[in-house]
Amino acid sequence: MDRLEEAMTGSEQAPWWPGLWRSLDSLQQPDWTGPELSRIVRLLAALPPLVAPADVSTLRHQLREVQAGRAFVLQGGDCAEHLGRRAVLDAQAKYRLLGRMAATISERTGLPVVTIGRLAGQFAKPRSRPVEEVGGRLLPAFQGLLVNGPEATDAARAPRPGRLVEAYATARDVLELLARLAGPGSTRASAVPVNNWLGARGWSADPVPLSAEGAAYGRTSRVRDQWIHRGLWASHEALILDYEEPLARRDPETGEWYLSSAHLPWVGYRSNHPNGGHVRFLAELSNPVAVKVGPDTDPADLIQLCHRLDPKRTPGRLTLVSRQGAALLRSRLPRLVAAVRDAGHPVIWMCDPMHGNTVRTASGLKTRHYDDIAAELSGFFEVLTGMGQLPGGVHLELAADDVTECVGGGGPQLADLPTAYRTLCDPRLNDVQAVALTELTADLLRTPGAGRMPVLTAAAR
Ligand code: PEP
Ligand code: CO
């Protein structure tokens, strides 16, 4: 029996608890053990959950619709968020842009769009190398503001556990802002979009009557203020497990464990081993979860990963985010899709056309070319539909600002990059590029074979 066949036969789930990752190989963790860290982890465990189990379950329900081909996912935001007030302002801009993008896709295709921000927790970065050279000096790599600072000094690059509490407070503020933006009586009559899921299911600038589910949800929200959500779901890479573990909580109603730091946590490409600490940590949490898969992901590992994260094969539970790079997509993605299809796992396939297409300019800036991004997205649709599978969504890094970080697509050219290069980590699409990619996504969804047109609305026709 080869490894792929062996993986297809499945494996027993071992006993689980939130601290299990500590005894496993957990990559990318900061070097910061000590009494201060222990004190902070205990403090986080005593703070209120950030998201409510009822909301996690609503998102699970929405993702089941996506898996069935009756909805599409738009996920986007910064590569790495700021901490503090800046993060809240950034989140407001993302809310507006993602809302406009979702509305365009919805109007052009007739499909409801589940809209998910990379925010309220996207503070940590996996790094390919633990050190980096800045101005001829070797420094510990910047791991995101959850861990250390970006400034090129040894002091800034030292990991500081106190950042975990600042991150928690920022995430809470961002979630509160999103709730205010989307909540009843907020700015619903203005240009701020309202995700009226299960009503007309889209984003709209007009006041929209709440559906029964929305109204019920609104009632819950008013009682438990910090749990309000409507409009934009929160997602981030669950990378730093000293932050995530104390935010794993039991749902008081069902007794099930869920992760209260995000509605949708994901595992990154560099930490997606089926036996690694990250995958095992998410295995028994009731949230929907996503995993990045790329050109070096082994089909046998991927099937094991599906067994670990979705042993009961629950539609909507597991999303696989493909990030191959335009050049490798056609040679690498089909065998992954075939393995999952043949194993019968009901995953959602999403496309991240950003992370496989990062290049460096002669002066050392990281950038991405719009044409590569567009080529990967188009190729993804072609591969999936050619194999009888549904393209379920798109995952983007975007600034919701007039930055000059990616090249082309009606945006900056190479020489313009230094003008407004502001990212804390990877290069993001600016507004013009994000809108161009939205139009492309809508066009791709409308091509015959994208296979998911239910009943087209008048506007979509
Ligand atoms: C990211 O999403 O910012 C990231 C690091 O992605 P990946 O794990 O796909 O490299
Ligand atoms: Co990134």
Of 237, 179, 214, nearest to 50 by C-alpha is 179
Output the CA 125–ligand 1 centroid distance in Å.
Answer: 8
For residues 53 and 329, give the distance between their C-alpha atoms in angstroms, rounded to a whole number.
36
Q: Which atom of ligand 1 is nearest to the CA of 323?
A: 9
Q: Does the structure show a pLDDT above 70 at 246? A: yes
Helix (H, G, I), strand (E, B) or coil at 259: strand
For residues 179 and 195, give the distance between their C-alpha atoms in angstroms, rounded to a whole number.
11
Helix (H, G, I), strand (E, B) or coil at 27: coil
Parallel, antiparallel or unpaired: strands 72-77 and 289-293: unpaired
The total domain count for the chain is 1
Tell whether ligand 1 has an atom less than 6 A from the beta carbon of residue 7. no
Which residue puts its alpha carbon closest to atom 1 of ligand 1? 79
Give the end-to-end CA distance of the chain in Å, rounded to a whole number: 51
Confidence of residue 7 (pLDDT cuts 50, 70, 90): low
- Mutating to test ligand 1, I would choose from 75, 128, 270 the residue with most ligand atoms within 8 A of its C-beta, which is 270
Average pLDDT of span 63-84? 96
Q: Which atom of ligand 1 is nearest to the CA of 268?
A: 8
Tell whether ligand 1 has an atom less than 6 A from the beta carbon of residue 345. no
Given this model, what pLDDT does residue 10 score? Answer: 53
Q: Does the structure show a pLDDT above 80 at 12? A: no
Given this model, what pLDDT does residue 192 score? Answer: 27
For residues 261 and 164, give the distance between their C-alpha atoms in angstroms, rounded to a whole number.
12
Q: Does the structure show a pLDDT above 60 at 234? A: yes
- Mutating to test ligand 1, I would choose from 122, 125, 323 the residue with most ligand atoms within 8 A of its C-beta, which is 323
Structural tokens at position 163: 């950042």
Domain harbouring 418, CATH code: 3.20.20.70
Decide: 71 and 201 in contact? Cβ < 8 Å: yes
Q: Is the dihedral of CA 450, 456, 460, 461 positive or negative?
A: positive
Q: What pTM does this model have?
A: 0.89
Mean pLDDT of the chain: 87
Tell whether ligand 1 has an atom less than 6 A from the beta carbon of residue 395. no
Given this model, what pLDDT does residue 181 score? Answer: 85
Given this model, what pLDDT does residue 294 score? Answer: 98
What domain range includes position 421?
A: 3-460
Helix (H, G, I), strand (E, B) or coil at 152: coil
DSSP labels, 178-205: HHHHHSTTSSTTTTS-EE-TTTT-SEES
For residues 176 and 179, give the distance between their C-alpha atoms in angstroms, rounded to a whole number.
5
Given this model, what pLDDT does residue 452 score? Answer: 55
Q: Catalogue the E-assigned strands of 201-316.
A: 203-204, 233-237, 248-250, 257-259, 264-267, 289-293
Average pLDDT of span 376-390? 97
Tell whether ligand 1 has an atom less than 6 A from the beta carbon of residue 266. no
